[in-house]
């Protein structure tokens, strides 16, 4: 019998919350070290040291706000799940969505009088999720930790306790 690695997925959900607290603690320690311990005393020395300290603290705070903003966006934004009653459009079933197929190149089309059922999608990029028991669009994958199918899923990130998908991929890259 094979060992199921995904039976620990509930522990990974708790691990994600711990990682969020760890990241915020890391930001707090960095803030203390840079602002309070190192550049804070330079503000009161006067002269060129004060000018350098003000410029560096301005840049540090600007970058800190951007990092915290993108982190909050990745954590709080839904990655984009597959809608409950998703079905491919009739053009996708026939293959007309791809311009090369529509011009007569490539694979054969489904006839206009045929209706596609889940078994007919094998030649197309439309899959069927056995865990959700639903159709899923191309590049959608089931996340065992979130327990749902995610559009354009990249991975489930423990640092953000969320999947990286279609709606939060940009924020993840910026973070």
Element (DSSP H or E) covering residue 11:
helix 9-31
What does pTM read for this prediction? 0.70
Range name among 53-67, 86-100, 137-151 with the lowest pLDDT average: 86-100
> Is the per-residue pLDDT at 97 higher than 90?
no
Query: What DSSP string runs through 129-161?
Result: ETTTTEEE-TT-EEETTTTEEETT--EEETTTT
DSSP bridge partners of 127:
136
Lowest mean pLDDT among 2-16, 73-87, 104-118, 138-152: 104-118
* Residues catalogued as catalytic: 157
Task: Please report the sign of the dihedral spanned by the C-alpha atoms of residue 149, residue 8, residue 3, residue 1.
Answer: negative
Rounded mean pLDDT of 132-143? Answer: 86
Q: What is the pLDDT of residues 22-32, one digit of tens each?
A: 999 999 999 99
Other beta carbons within 10 angstroms of residue 89's beta carbon come to 9
β-partners of residue 164 are: 155
- b/e 76-85 (16+ beta carbons within 10 angstroms → b): ebebbbbeee
Tally of CB atoms within 10 A around 98: 15
């Amino acid at each position: 019998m094979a060992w199921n690695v995904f039976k620990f997925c509930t522990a990974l959900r708790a691990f994600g919350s711990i990682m969020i607290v760890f990241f915020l603690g890391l930001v707090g320690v960095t803030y203390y070290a840079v602002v309070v311990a190192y550049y804070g005393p330079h503000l009161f020395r006067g002269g060129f040291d004060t000018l350098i300290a003000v410029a560096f603290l301005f840049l540090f705070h600007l970058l800190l706000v951007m990092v915290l903003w993108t982190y909050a966006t990745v954590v709080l934004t839904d990655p984009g799940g597959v809608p409950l009653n998703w079905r491919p459009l009739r053009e996708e079933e026939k293959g007309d969505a791809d311009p090369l197929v529509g011009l007569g190149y490539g694979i054969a089309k489904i006839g206009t009088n045929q209706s596609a059922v889940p078994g007919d999608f094998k030649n197309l990029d439309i899959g069927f999720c056995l865990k959700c028991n639903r159709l899923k669009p191309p590049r959608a994958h089931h996340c065992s930790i979130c327990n749902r199918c995610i559009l354009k899923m990249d991975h489930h990130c423990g640092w953000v306790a969320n999947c990286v998908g279609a709606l939060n991929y940009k924020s993840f890259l910026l973070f």
